[in-house]
Every structure is written in C-alpha cells, then in structure tokens.
Amino acid sequence: MANVSHKRALVTGGAGFIGSHVVQHLVEDGWHVRVLDNLSTGTESNLSEVAACIELLRGDIRDQNDVRRACESVDVVFHLAAYISVPGSVAEPETADDVNIRGTLNMLLCAREAKVRRVVFSSSAAVYGEPATLPVPEDAPTRPASPYGLEKLYGEHMCRLFTELYGLETVALRYFNVYGPRQNPDSEYAAVIPKFISLLLCGERATIYGDGLQTRDFLYVSDVARANLLAAGADDVQGKTLNVASGIGVSIRELHDAITELFGRQTTPRYAPPRPGDVRHSVASIRQAQNLLGFRPAISLMAGLRSTADWLSSRSGC
C-alpha cells in the first residue's frame, strides 16, 4: 500500500450527498479532515455527526484562492465538488462547464502547488454515453451524451496529464448510479431512487421517463465512500481510471417494483418522454477495481433500498 501515514484529507463537496459519506468514513478511519464546500447543494446538516471532528471551509472551487487555502498541509484530496446533474448540464451548459472544468483545473493546480501526494477524482459513467458493449470496461469508447459527461471526461484526462507531466498522483473513479441516505429527493433533477421512495411514502405515483426498460447499475453510497479510501492508499493506480459500481444491471421498471414491494404496495407508475442526455443501458465491469483496489460491493440493492427508505421516512412530511 502507498504511504498514508499523514492521513490529512481535503474533501471538496464534502457537505454533499456522497462527499459527506466520504468524510464520515475518513473520520472513522482516523484521518484529519478538511471540507471545502460552497453549500449550494450540500448542507451542514449532512456533516452533523462529525462536525466536531472536521474543519469546514465555505468556499468555491472556481475561486483559486479558496482552493489554495483548502489544499494547505493536505496529503490527499478527494475531489467531489461538481455540477452533478446530467439534464441540468443540458439546460445550463455554461454553469456546468464553469464548475466542472475550471473548478477541477483549479483543484489540480493548487494540489500540485501544495505538494499534495494524491488526488482522488470523482468521475462518472456519463463519460461513456451509450455503451457499445455491456458490461462496459474502462477502455470502452467514450462518447458523452451530455455536457456533464464531457466535463467529467476532461477531468479524467487532466488528472492523467498531471500525473504524467508533473508527477502528481491521481486516480479517477467512474461512479455509476449512487444512492443512499442524504440524497436529496426534492431537487428538480433528483435521482431516481430517492424520488421514487419519497413519492411512494406520500402515496403518490412515480414517473418513469421512457419505457422503463432502460437499465442502470446502482451502488450504495457507503460502498462508494469505501472505494475512495481504498483509492487513496492503493499501489499501481496512479493516472488510472476505474469503474466503481455493483456490476449488476437493473431496469427502471424492476427498480420501481422492488421499491413498491418494500412498502408492501402495488402502484402503477406514470410514463413520460425520455429526458435529453439519458442513455439507454448502463452496467459496469468492475474487474479493475476488484484487482487494483480490492473493491467489492458489500451492500445488496434491497438492503440499500431499505436503509434509504428508512432515512427518507424519518424525514418525510407525509
């Protein structure tokens, strides 16, 4: 394993859904953690369980002074801050581009300047677009179907170049469909699992975009956080990009049926036209992450859905 004896981490976007779980796992593993977040979508309440153990800086990755200050005396950067919505990036490409390209470049420049040992970059399966083969391996052709996917692909290539040109260790993790507690069901572009659960909690019908036969690869958020920690200390991953997923494809109809089964209800979803930028099928090959990180998903879909439903139920106004 690479040397992680200093165990000083910066988590950008650490008040967000995935970021806050990464922060929690780092604290539990004995790291000193600093969070940089502008709280545009993240919330301090996401960090309430570890607030006394971390340093929270309110700042923006687009501001190089904020990023420079955040990188001081840090050993590993976990870069999760991003404009994360695929349909949102289609509607607002300039904003998405500013955050995901300029923000990521700022992070890499300041990490190099601060002599950070490693940057773990959060990328996305959106870089593939519509995969030609399934399960999709990391060396599959990339043809993003949205500005978001293209911006994440840029981030991956910049990470690789910073490793090759400047010696900054980087590793990019391509997340597939992450779900779990703290995921916001109320945003305009809410992910499918919290949206379905929150609607069913309130006795409402869910909406499926397209015919529902499209497939996704769902991974519980604690598994994603664990993959980040593994990537911080693994050998032979510098400059590489790895899929982080379950390796199992589930159709949106099957997902809807699983959630209704969880609630002991039978409801018929509404159907709406497909959304721009959405791909038809997505399921990952996770062999590289298994071999290089020792990563294997620990939480089954039904167990993860149950945990997510419990969390959302405790906060539901219905």
| Residues annotated catalytic, as ranges | 148
- Residue 95's alpha-carbon distances to 65, 90, 104, 115, 189, in angstroms, are 20, 10, 14, 29, 15
| DSSP β-bridge partners for residue 76 | 9, 118
Q: CA separation (Å) from 207 to 18, 62, 193?
A: 24, 35, 11
d(CA 37, CA 81): 7
Tell me how many degrees the CA angle 154-160-164 measures, rounded to the nearest 5.
140
**Nearest alpha carbon to residue 151 among 127, 130, 128, 172:** 127
13-34 residues labelled b (16+ CB within 10 A) or e (exposed) = bbbbbbbbbbbbbbbeeebbbb
- In angstroms, the CA 259 to CA 183 distance is 16
Residue 2 and residue 9: Cα distance in Å, rounded? 15
In the chain, the largest separation of any two C-alpha atoms, in whole Å, equals 57
